[in-house]
Chain A
């Protein structure tokens, strides 16, 4: 019997990697494979879905294939380096430590360790599955013998993007018909929120003095988040920048629905799921072409070569003033979503892991 077991540092609910891991486990089981999840830590809600990774040796069977969900540092990586089973990496990217230097030294050290673990695991693995070609290139450069691009499983059909009407109403009542820019992502230096604030300032100066910026995401780097807000205050934008976190799926859908333009100026993204959420919501996208953003977006948004505030502001204004452009971007977004439809991604994962398992049995 084919057996593909997943290892993940932390299994969390309402988390992209957590949802992806659970969905893959279900996909593997649906084709009759044996598949369990092993973790370093699991949220209370998901405790029954996983086992601690130290328990795997007692449950290991000949022919097992191990799939590691790799996006941060973990003792799980060292554990897997000591195993003999065929190892497949599912690489979700690790932010370069240089982004955190000066802001949060312990996070810089953590991601530096993660990079060392990726470098050790890549040549040891039989296959590297990457969310994007950007991630795949990184794995290949580190000596991964074979790579395959299969995006992360984001089942946008699960909640259908249902909007919480009261949240939508609450947001609308705060800004009237002023332009609303939205970015969704954790507040972290690689996401460059300061460029969003700078772009808002220039946009208000040149195009719409009442425009607002809505930021959704946890403040995972508190010093950076504080600096971004202090920067906004210095520019007189305290009331124009609105931060939300801990939103339900329906509330988040309301923020997307409320926004006029989704703006992403991240310097480093391994995939960028919020782009897909914006496409689903029909919110036109303006994004900096950095990391994997360009390939995730394709032609479903305005891709900028620079994050200079004047260019970002002019692009936003163009989207606001030009209904044909906005309509074409939204239509392209809906088309692009088909490429990331969950059934197709599930099938590609099953095929890729099936090939590894088949080869393993032949060799054995």
Chain B
């Protein structure tokens, strides 16, 4: 609260702290009640997600791409016809007679005006049909440029958040004022850590198979890709987003789209935590077939900082971690040890440094 915002009455400060403590205790008991209901099976895992999905069925934002385009077009077609036959029903017999009289008297005039309106509406409708046909042709053309699928067993499993960066991620989102979304949450390891820290978090992962352990533990997880999920999340609805996993496979246009969504769905003052493999670490760890056919490549931490900064995020320095593959120095007393160790430092810097990093950013506008 700012100093000039209305606060509690003077003299009530002592009471206020007691009241706040009391309400905190009540809230803790309410949270415990929810956990008890979940554990007892009264609230099956995924029930709340099903409610969200059900509402989307009635929402225009739930319809995507072609379906939404065609539905809107049908609306235009349906509205393009203007009925000249004004209803003449009335509760009073004389009312109906008068209405019919007016309709008949104005018929020649209305007919002239309505004919022009309908002509205009159908022209507009026709134009939209041409545009939609064109858009669908474009979509078909774009589809032909799709990358070949990677062999599933060649793609290394994503780290769901149980690794070196878990504690830093939890610290970064602790105190989030809205829900925290974990992308590619996998078995829910990071969700467990967030729950233990008192953070209200849920997860999405495109693979329902990897979600099974999380579902079995009663975690709020949904079998959905991060982009598809963020499309239907309300603006500024999330206190923080944790991105990991598929981030490094995104095509440039997908990455741009994801960033646009993240920048509007996380609230101002909210946090974005981004975990990724370094390009060098990625190249060294994936099989050649993945290296050649992957639709996208991981970015350097500095590049993410640039991309996020241009979208209104303040970015803290990246934290490096992961497998340490650096070479040790040779005995400094040996022949040419100075030159060899300098070469080793250069190699470590260029190719063999930490293989992963964590970027934490705060949305400023």
> What residues make up the interface of A, taking CB atoms closer than 8 Å to B?
96-99, 101-103, 132-133, 136, 141, 148-151, 189-190, 192, 194, 197-198, 201-202, 205-206, 223, 226-228, 230-231, 234-235, 267-268, 289-290, 295, 298-299, 302-306, 308-311, 314-315, 317-318, 322, 325, 328, 332, 335-336, 338-340
Q: Note all chain A residues with C-beta closer than 8 A to B5.
A: 132-133, 149, 295
**A209–B59 alpha-carbon span in the complex (Å):** 27
Known A102-B61, A133-B1, A231-B55; further 13 A-B contacts with Cβ < 8 A: A150-B4, A226-B58, A227-B59, A230-B58, A231-B58, A290-B178, A295-B5, A298-B7, A302-B27, A310-B37, A318-B30, A322-B26, A328-B19
**A230–B365 alpha-carbon span in the complex (Å):** 35
Q: Which of B2, B58, B177, B234 contacts A99 (CB 8 A)?
A: B234
A205 to chain B, nearest CB (A): 8
Contact B34 A299 (CB under 8 A): no
Q: Which of A201, A308, A314 contacts B33 (CB 8 A)?
A: A314
Q: Note all chain A residues with C-beta closer than 8 A to B6.
A: 149, 151, 339-340
**A317–B200 alpha-carbon span in the complex (Å):** 20
Contact B200 A306 (CB under 8 A): yes
The answer to whether B74 has its CB under 8 Å from any CB of chain A is no
**Which of B12, B48, B220 gathers most chain A CB within 10 Å?**
B48
The answer to whether B252 has its CB under 8 Å from any CB of chain A is no
**A85–B7 alpha-carbon span in the complex (Å):** 33
Q: Note all chain B residues with C-beta closer than 8 A to A311.
A: 30-31, 34
Q: Note all chain B residues with C-beta closer than 8 A to A101.
A: 61, 235
**A208–B58 alpha-carbon span in the complex (Å):** 26
Q: Which of A227, A295, A299, A310 contacts B55 (CB 8 A)?
A: A227
B201 to chain A, nearest CB (A): 10
Contact B54 A231 (CB under 8 A): yes
Known: A96-B236, A98-B234, A98-B264. A223 touches B8 (CB 8 A): no
Q: Note all chain A residues with C-beta closer than 8 A to B54.
A: 231, 234-235
Contact A302 B33 (CB under 8 A): no
Known: A299-B23, A302-B26, A318-B29. A98 touches B236 (CB 8 A): yes
Report the nearest A residue to B68, measured CB to CB. Answer: A102
Q: Note all chain B residues with C-beta closer than 8 A to A298.
A: 7-8
The answer to whether B143 has its CB under 8 Å from any CB of chain A is no
**A318–B2 alpha-carbon span in the complex (Å):** 31
Q: How many of chain B's residues touch chain A, expressed as a range? A: 35 or more
Q: Note all chain A residues with C-beta closer than 8 A to B255.
A: none
**A340–B5 alpha-carbon span in the complex (Å):** 10
The answer to whether B60 has its CB under 8 Å from any CB of chain A is yes
A236 to chain B, nearest CB (A): 12
CB-defined A-B contacts under 8 Å, sample of 11: A96-B236, A97-B235, A189-B234, A206-B43, A230-B58, A290-B178, A308-B48, A308-B220, A314-B30, A315-B27, A339-B7
**A314–B31 alpha-carbon span in the complex (Å):** 8
B276 to chain A, nearest CB (A): 27
Contact A227 B58 (CB under 8 A): yes
**A317–B34 alpha-carbon span in the complex (Å):** 11
B113 to chain A, nearest CB (A): 25
Known: A206-B42, A289-B177. A310 touches B61 (CB 8 A): no
A351 to chain B, nearest CB (A): 11
Q: Note all chain A residues with C-beta closer than 8 A to B268.
A: 141
The answer to whether B9 has its CB under 8 Å from any CB of chain A is yes
The answer to whether B38 has its CB under 8 Å from any CB of chain A is yes
**A311–B179 alpha-carbon span in the complex (Å):** 13
Report the nearest B residue to A289, measured CB to CB. Answer: B177
The answer to whether B96 has its CB under 8 Å from any CB of chain A is no
Contact B237 A314 (CB under 8 A): no
Q: Which of A103, A194, A223, A309 contacts B48 (CB 8 A)?
A: A309
**A315–B26 alpha-carbon span in the complex (Å):** 9
A238 to chain B, nearest CB (A): 14
**A305–B24 alpha-carbon span in the complex (Å):** 12
Contact B234 A267 (CB under 8 A): yes
The answer to whether B51 has its CB under 8 Å from any CB of chain A is yes
Report the nearest A residue to B8, measured CB to CB. Answer: A298
